[in-house]
Chains A and B, each alone.
Chain A
Amino acid sequence: MPQTKQGPASTGSTALGSLWKAYSEQTPERLKFIDAFLFFLMLSGVIQFAYCVLVTTYPYNAFLSGFASTVGQFVLAASLRSQVNPQNKEEFKEVSPERAFADFALGSIVLHFFVYNFLG
């Protein structure tokens, strides 16, 4: 695990700022790419949820499958992120980054099979 470079910050806002700085400095490009995808999925999920809460839940299975699609894709991508993270190499001895990606692809296919089936 790489050492953090920030000294102790005094206020909460600087804590967040140092977090952002440390993140952008230390994270490899690939992980940032995955993070962008994660952020997009989160936005999509939030919009769907807001629509469900504010407008209607009527085709409830459609809402659930759409929302589960974003949530499931989010956690699968987050799993991929932690599997390919060089920091976690020790933990995932049996899962190489290539295999992690194949697992991710398979998991997504299975997930979306169920999503389309449930969309009704």
Chain B
Amino acid sequence: MPSLAYPVPTDLSPATVKNTASLFRIITLALISGAAIASRLFSIINFESVIHEFDPWFNYRATRVLASKGFYEFWNWFDPTAWYPLGRVVGGTVYPGLMATSGVIYYILQALNLPVDIRNICVLLAPGFSALTAWATYMFTKEMKNESAGLLAAAFIGIVPGYISRSVAGSYDNEAIAIFLLMFTFYLWIKALKQGSALYGTAAAVFYFYMVAAWGGYVFITNMIPVHALVLILMGRFSHRLYVAYCSWYAIGTLASMQVPFVGFQPVSTSEHMGALGVFGLLQIVAFADLVRSHVSSQNFQKILRFGLVAIGGLGASAFVALTYSGKIAPWTGRFYSLWDTGYAKKYIPIIASVSEHQPTAWPSFFMDLQMLVFLFPAGVILCFRELRDEHLFVIVYSVMASYFAGVMVRLMLTLTPVVCVSSAIALSTLLETYINPVEPDAERDSSAPTEPQQTANGSSAQPSAATPSKKGKKAATAPAASSSAFSELVAASSGKKSYFSSPRGIFGMDTRVMVVLNTLWMLSFFVFHCTYVTSSAYSSPSVVLASQSQDGSQHIIDDFREAYYWIRQNTPEDAVVMSWWDYGYQIAGMADRPTLVDNNTWNNTHIATVGKAMSSSEENAYPILRKHDVDYVLVIFGGLIGYSGDDINKFLWMVRIAQGVWPDEIQESNYFTPRGEYRVDDAASKTMKDSLMYKMSYYRFADLFGGGQAMDRVRNQQAPKNIELDYLDEAFTSENWIVRLYQVRKEDILGRDLKSANAFEKGKKRKRSKPLSRRRAIV
């Protein structure tokens, strides 16, 4: 009987302990789900139940079609209003998983006589699925360590801002359900690998199919699982369980993924998917070699191996290379290629580089999104190394890959967050298990030779490891979270509580235990505060309405976007085509319900470049473009009056760059800078800049607001220009705070004149050979 640091009840039956533990687990998971849902509702409570951002507006519109017209109509939906005059085949260019999910929920609720509006289902889908994500993370981490680590991981992912940022209520985007599917597919894969069960492999394939239908990030799974399998093979850990799990996943999952029209034949024809196919082929060879080896002597096997298997492997690999070079297998698409060559997008595809989510991540955003998890994360990965079962390799590979991708692109922080939660939970639960464990180290037995580590009383599943002392020291250094002495204690203690070395190691007494546990609890509670603070202040504002605080703390809502969109909806003909920069395409289609030229689905770069060209060229040059595309209204966003920095003048250079990519002789970026290379909007601006349509539309009549005083642009902090004249456009609407400005394109002059001279005539300016005013009046 080992001595205990504090008394524990001994008269409990194992059944009681087990039942109580499972009751606690259920209650904890329920509370975690509640916290996960509740912490995502700030935006609804502070503002209202609306769809945020840009992409969700399209998803919402598509879901409305699905809910009102049924699934087949949605599947074959051709949207003539998007990408006017081209139109968009929505069914074949969309990941339908999100819409189908909310459609199914809608129909189920209808069938239960709970008539919930489809908008509310869309708004609340992400919080609902975040609860499922917490549960899936629990299951996943349970496979890695044990239930307590699973509960910690679930609690982490329930509230961690890195995931909340993409899943607040109203953020009806693909990521809302994708992270749940990601974690659940990984869980099923680990389960299949552990058991060697084709059932779990099939289930992983089915959820992989769901994931493919839901999010373009499925490619991450398509490459994670093969890399894991490849690492297992290379480490000599090939087992028949791996064969069963991988092959059943790949064979069914690949065929299933091809059912999604948007994906089509990509899984057999593009480079992103070839890793999975290659590992599939390799596994067949390895499994066959294994079969042969079991039947013949090693000498014969050597021969067969040399002649047969190497030849097959070489042949397969060279076939891949040959097919790639001959063009049968498509090379990496720009979007994925820019992850490897980080300068690629900026050079060749400005439209990818222009999205703010595609920029590299700065350190503060790692800390802001993950707080203490970011430094517990490496500790957890190292703990995985110490135990290194097959599934721990998965966490290690996942951490390495996701860390790299999250460093390259802000947006991929989302795929890093789950593994950070899992790995930190492993680290933290190891720490807590060690320090809550009441067993005192046995001083007498430690003096004897290194004994076999034994399982401790409460069954800590930490396995002994063969790490050397120097390695332990290094590890303590990598974990600044816990006090470093505590961590080296942990290392020693997790090795089965009995030291390998002559001096007795372990945790003595109550004081150390209480100190470390209290410190950990303090860190955990501070984590909760941090998450809540970040969620409420940074991630819970709908971009549709802008909020500003006045001096006395009262909130002032700027609702110009909806004001303008509803003006368009109610005051323009239903087939009026609105041209705007592509950022606002989905919102115009969703809220104003008018055809747009370009939208956020940037599938046709030339069409976007056309809009960019129209915006960045002079009125005379832009007018034919507008007329040829039947544009009735042009919409620009202008933040100069209230200091809204995300306006079109700040995005203007991207329009220029994208247009320059297609028409290099007509649009040159350097023309828009001053001779000293500055981007200015005041009097020093270049002539091309002053002539451009975007510039004129943004500052038209702006100086009048200031009553002859100096007009200041509050975003650029420069003087705004005066006396701008528009000849080809009429101002149709300007919202209250001048954020949205809408211009109507004039029709051709009825007398066939150039609109510029017609306008000059209207204004009464003298033409060169015009007659005196008095004589003209005499004629009338």
CB distance from A109 to the nearest CB of B (A): 9
Which residues of chain B come closer than 8 Å to A61, judged between CB atoms? Answer: 258, 265
* B265 and A114 form a contact (CB under 8 A): no
7 A-B contacts, Cβ less than 8 Å apart? A6-B297, A12-B303, A19-B304, A88-B240, A106-B202, A111-B255, A114-B255
A56 touches B (CB below 8 Å): no
Among B205, B284, B294, B296, the residue within 8 A (CB) of A6 is B296
Report Cα–Cα, A92/B195, bound state, in Å: 7
Chain B residues numbered 258-290 whose CB sits less than 8 Å from any CB in chain A: 258-259, 265, 268, 284, 287
Q: Known: A15-B303, A79-B247, A118-B258. Is A110-B202 also a contact (CB below 8 A)? A: yes
A44 touches B (CB below 8 Å): no
Assuming A79-B248, A83-B196, A103-B202, what are 12 further A-B pairs, CB within 8 angstroms? Answer: A4-B295, A6-B296, A6-B297, A18-B300, A64-B268, A78-B247, A82-B243, A91-B239, A99-B199, A107-B248, A110-B205, A114-B252
A8 touches B (CB below 8 Å): yes
Number of interface residues of B (CB under 8 A): 38
B412 touches A (CB below 8 Å): no
Q: Known: A22-B295, A104-B198. Is A16-B251 also a contact (CB below 8 A)? A: no
Q: Across the interface, name the chain A residue whose C-beta is closest to B245.
A: A79
CB distance from B735 to the nearest CB of A (A): 49
* A111 and B251 form a contact (CB under 8 A): yes
Report Cα–Cα, A113/B259, bound state, in Å: 11
Among B199, B258, B268, the residue within 8 A (CB) of A106 is B199
* A80 and B243 form a contact (CB under 8 A): no
A1 touches B (CB below 8 Å): yes
* B241 and A19 form a contact (CB under 8 A): no
Report Cα–Cα, A117/B198, bound state, in Å: 21
Q: Across the interface, name the chain B residue whose C-beta is closest to A72.
A: B251
CB distance from B87 to the nearest CB of A (A): 24
CB distance from B532 to the nearest CB of A (A): 42
Which residues of chain A come closer than 8 Å to B265, judged between CB atoms? Answer: 60-61, 64
CB distance from A62 to the nearest CB of B (A): 12
A39 touches B (CB below 8 Å): no
A36 touches B (CB below 8 Å): no
Which residues of chain B come closer than 8 Å to A15, judged between CB atoms? Answer: 296, 300, 303-304
Which residues of chain B come closer than 8 Å to A111, judged between CB atoms? Answer: 251-252, 255
* A78 and B287 form a contact (CB under 8 A): yes
B516 touches A (CB below 8 Å): no
B706 touches A (CB below 8 Å): no
Which residues of chain A come closer than 8 Å to B232, judged between CB atoms? Answer: none
B90 touches A (CB below 8 Å): no
B617 touches A (CB below 8 Å): no
Q: Known: A103-B202, A107-B201, A107-B202. Is A76-B195 also a contact (CB below 8 A)? A: no
Report Cα–Cα, A84/B203, bound state, in Å: 21
Report Cα–Cα, A42/B328, bound state, in Å: 24
Among B256, B259, B294, the residue within 8 A (CB) of A87 is B294
* A64 and B258 form a contact (CB under 8 A): yes
State the 8 A-B residue pairs at the shortest beta-carbon distance, nearest first: A72-B251, A75-B247, A103-B198, A79-B244, A82-B240, A22-B295, A15-B300, A103-B199
Which residues of chain A come closer than 8 Å to B243, judged between CB atoms? Answer: 78-79, 82
The 8 A CB mask of A28-57 against B (1 = contact, 0 = none) is 000000000000000000000000000000
Q: Known: A19-B292, A78-B287. Is A103-B197 also a contact (CB below 8 A)? A: yes
Which residues of chain A come closer than 8 Å to B292, judged between CB atoms? Answer: 19
The 8 A CB mask of A61-90 against B (1 = contact, 0 = none) is 100110010011001101110110101100
Q: Across the interface, name the chain B residue whose C-beta is closest to A24.
A: B295
A interface residues with partner B (beta carbon < 8 Å): 1-2, 4, 6-9, 12, 15-16, 18-19, 22-23, 26, 60-61, 64-65, 68, 71-72, 75-76, 78-80, 82-83, 85, 87-88, 91-92, 94-95, 99-100, 102-104, 106-107, 110-111, 114-115, 117-118
* B296 and A4 form a contact (CB under 8 A): yes
CB distance from B507 to the nearest CB of A (A): 35
Which residues of chain B come closer than 8 Å to A99, judged between CB atoms? Answer: 197, 199
Report Cα–Cα, A26/B299, bound state, in Å: 19
* B244 and A82 form a contact (CB under 8 A): yes
Which residues of chain B come closer than 8 Å to A1, judged between CB atoms? Answer: 294
Q: Across the interface, name the chain A residue whose C-beta is closest to B196.
A: A92
* A80 and B307 form a contact (CB under 8 A): no
* A8 and B299 form a contact (CB under 8 A): yes
Which residues of chain A come closer than 8 Å to B197, judged between CB atoms? Answer: 94-95, 99, 103
* A72 and B252 form a contact (CB under 8 A): yes
Which residues of chain A come closer than 8 Å to B196, judged between CB atoms? Answer: 83, 91-92, 94-95
Which residues of chain B come closer than 8 Å to A85, judged between CB atoms? Answer: 240
Which residues of chain A come closer than 8 Å to B268, judged between CB atoms? Answer: 64
Q: Across the interface, name the chain B residue whose C-beta is closest to A102.
A: B199
* A8 and B300 form a contact (CB under 8 A): yes
Report Cα–Cα, A61/B708, bound state, in Å: 69
Report Cα–Cα, A68/B300, bound state, in Å: 34
Among A12, A68, A92, A110, the residue within 8 A (CB) of B206 is A110
Which residues of chain B come closer than 8 Å to A65, judged between CB atoms? Answer: 255
B254 touches A (CB below 8 Å): yes
* B248 and A6 form a contact (CB under 8 A): no
Q: Known: A78-B243, A83-B240, A107-B202. Is A118-B252 also a contact (CB below 8 A)? A: no
Q: Across the interface, name the chain B residue whose C-beta is closest to A9.
A: B300
Among A18, A91, A107, the residue within 8 A (CB) of B240 is A91
Which residues of chain B come closer than 8 Å to A107, judged between CB atoms? Answer: 198-199, 201-202, 248, 252
Report Cα–Cα, A82/B290, bound state, in Å: 11
Which residues of chain B come closer than 8 Å to A110, judged between CB atoms? Answer: 202, 205-206, 252
Report Cα–Cα, A102/B300, bound state, in Å: 37
Among B244, B255, B284, the residue within 8 A (CB) of A72 is B255
Which residues of chain A come closer than 8 Å to B199, judged between CB atoms? Answer: 99, 102-103, 106-107
Which residues of chain A come closer than 8 Å to B284, judged between CB atoms? Answer: 75
- Which of B198, B250, B254 has most chain A Cβ within 10 Å? B198
CB distance from B241 to the nearest CB of A (A): 6
* B259 and A117 form a contact (CB under 8 A): yes
Which residues of chain B come closer than 8 Å to A83, judged between CB atoms? Answer: 196, 198, 240, 244
* A19 and B198 form a contact (CB under 8 A): no
The 8 A CB mask of B194-224 against A (1 = contact, 0 = none) is 0111110110011000000000000000000
Chain B residues numbered 641-660 whose CB sits less than 8 Å from any CB in chain A: none
